[in-house]
Amino acid sequence: MTSLPLAGHPSGRAQAIDPSLDLEDEIARLKKERNAIVLAHYYQDGDIQDVADVVGDSLQLAQAAAKTKADVICFAGVHFMAETAKILNPHKAVVLPDLTAGCSLADGCPPDAFAAWIQKHTVNGEKPIVVSYINCSAEVKALSDYIVTSSNAEKIVAQIPEGKKILFAPDKNLGAFIEKKLGRKMEMWQGSCIVHETFSEKKLVQLKERHPGAPILAHPECEPVVLKMADYIGSTTGILKTALARPEKEIIVVTEAGILHALEKAAAEAGIEKTFIPAPPMASCACNECPHMKKNTLEKVYLALRDMQPEITMPAELMTRALAPIEKMLALS
Ligand code: 13P
Ligand code: SF4
């Protein structure tokens, strides 16, 4: 038996995992035994994506959580994603392999400051329409009128009647992208993603010089200077579909590096020969990898299913308030 140090495991002690165990087999056995599913985001390590029942973008994973018949959801993603799955399934157990897997966007939008911001923009008792990116806490969701993801934000904001004041939080880059697309002014919370803001315009220009025929596919969490260079801007699933559909052999991908596993796998399955080139971050670091997403490991997925923890819990009243804007999003998507 070896002891693996597993920071963030609720037991607070290193967990002993028998090294002779085949973790993939064990996860498959536990899924069956517990009637559990594993939902994984594209930014998870490849070995986690490979044991998942659904791999997708934030919207697809919320939709999968909303319709699952499983009794247990193991959410291989970050905290706000697992929280959303729990809000949609208050009577099911939702486990997150590492409870400390957060998100710079969610962490940069504290509910008290968010409530004060809404109050500041409420004039003569007229409350603005509050649109929040799904990358936020349950408390922030509960204060919002609509929840959106990178794949439906444009469609949902477009349905808000003209003349209504809109507050958009917490990602200023996604907000600016929507604002530009719709020609609609919004008040923006000044949050950003620590991963997507590290992509450098200068390095992207140099990369494009070396691969002039390769289109640039970028996530809307990137800064406007980077998005200006993109041939396509969309969610992780949008990037994946576009990358496969484009005729070019070489594709430049400007998002978290975990998506390369899904891209390569999908291209191989479709029998398409492609080279995916990850956009370089500013410094020579691995900062195109999300440190929060990467806290989850296959070992922690196994332990979460075995021990049924760390489990997501919230007050029932908070879940009820946060559910309304999520349900609106699902209905409008
Ligand atoms: P999508 O997969 O919905 O595009 O979101 C990206 C992201 O940053 C999730 O944290
Ligand atoms: Fe949050 Fe950015 Fe990580 Fe996504 S990639 S979870 S937005 S910090």
Looking at residue 116, its amino acid is A
Say yes or no: 222 and 297 in one domain.
Answer: no
Measured from the CB, is residue 105 less than 6 Å from ligand 2? yes
How big is the chain, counted in residues?
333
Whether residue 220 lies inside any domain: the answer is: yes
Nearest-atom number in ligand 2 for the CA of 104 is 8
* Same domain, yes or no: 150 and 211: no
pLDDT at 15: 65
Last residue of a domain, one of 167, 192, 217: 192
| pLDDT tens digits, one per residue of 93-142 | 999 999 999 999 999 999 999 999 999 999 999 999 999 999 999 999 99
pLDDT category, 285, cuts 50, 70, 90?
A: confident
Phi/psi at 168 (5° precision): -120, 130
Residue 11 has pLDDT above 50, yes or no: no
3-state secondary structure of 107: helix
- Residue 297's contacts (CB-CB under 8 Å, 6 or more residues apart) are 6, 45, 48, 97, 98
Ligand 1 centroid to Cα of residue 240, in Å, is 12
What's the angle, vertex CA 303, arms to CA 300 and CA 308, rounded to 5? 120
The answer to whether residue 176 sits within a structural domain is yes
In this structure, the answer to whether residues 93 and 121 fall within a common structural domain is: no
Question: 285 lies in a domain?
Answer: no
Do residue 210 and residue 247 come from a single domain?
yes
Question: What pLDDT does 8 receive?
Answer: 46
Q: Which long-range contacts (CB under 8 A, 24 or more apart) does 209-215 make?
A: 211/250, 211/252, 211/277, 213/248, 213/250, 214/248, 214/250, 214/251, 214/252, 214/277, 215/246, 215/248, 215/251, 215/252
pLDDT at 1 (0 to 100): 39
Q: Are residues 7 and 92 in the same domain?
A: yes
Same domain, 236 and 271: yes
Residues 119, 185, single domain; the answer is yes
Q: How far apart are CA 138 and CA 144, in angstroms?
A: 10
**Burial zone of 247 (CB within 10 Å; 0-12 exposed, 13-18 middle, 19+ buried):** exposed
Q: Are 132 and 170 in contact (CB under 8 A)?
A: yes
In this prediction the pTM is: 0.94
Quote the DSSP letter at residue 163.
T
In this structure, is residue 32 part of a structural domain? yes
Q: For 207-238, what is each residue's pLDDT tens digit?
A: 999 999 999 999 999 999 999 999 999 999 99
For residue 158, give its domain range: 105-192
Q: 11 with 87, same domain? A: yes
Q: Is 83 in the pocket of ligand 2 (CB under 6 A)?
A: no
Asked, for residue 17, whether it belongs to a domain, the answer is yes
Burial of 16 (0-12, 13-18, 19+ CB in 10 A): exposed
Both 248 and 296 in a single domain?
no
Contact in structure between 186 and 168 (CB atoms under 8 Å): yes
Q: What single DSSP character describes residue 246?
A: S
CA gap 259, 125 in Å, rounded: 45
Nearest CA residue ID for atom 1, ligand 1: 57
Closest Cα to atom 5 of ligand 2: 290
Query: How sure is the predictor about 7, in pLDDT bands with cuts at 50, 70 and 90?
Result: very low
Is pLDDT at 55 greater than 50 in this prediction? Answer: yes
Mutation test residue for ligand 1: of 79, 173, 236, 255, the one with most atoms within 8 Å of CB: 236
Which pLDDT score, from 0 to 100, does residue 295 have?
98
Mind listing the pLDDT tens digit for each residue in 306-331? 999 999 999 999 999 999 999 999 99
Q: Is residue 67 part of a domain?
A: yes
Could you tell me the CATH number of the domain that includes residue 14?
3.40.50.10800
d(CA 222, CA 170): 14
Distance 222 CA to ligand 1 centre (A): 11
Q: Is there an atom of ligand 2 within 6 Å of 254 CB?
A: no
Domain count, the chain: 3
**Beta carbon of 259 within 6 Å of any ligand 2 atom:** no
Whether 98 and 7 share a structural domain: yes
CA distances from 190 to 104, 105, 108, 282 (A): 12, 9, 9, 21
Ligand 2 close to Cβ of residue 193 (< 6 A): yes
Does ligand 2 come within 6 angstroms of the Cβ of 287?
Answer: no
Q: Is the CB of 255 under 6 A from ligand 1?
A: no
Same domain, 109 and 188: yes
The alpha carbon of 196 and the centre of ligand 2 are apart by a number of angstroms equal to 8
* Ligand 2 atom nearest 196 alpha carbon: 2
Which of 136, 155, 128 has its CA nearest to residue 331? Answer: 155
> 326 lies in a domain?
no
* 20 and 91 assigned to the same domain: yes
Ligand 2, atom 6, lies closest to the CA of 103
Q: From the CB of residue 21, how many other CB atoms can be counted at a distance below 10 Å?
A: 11
Ligand 2 center to 49 CA (angstroms): 17
Those residues whose C-beta lies under 8 Å from the C-beta of residue 9, and which sit 6 or more positions away, are 15, 98, 300, 303, 310
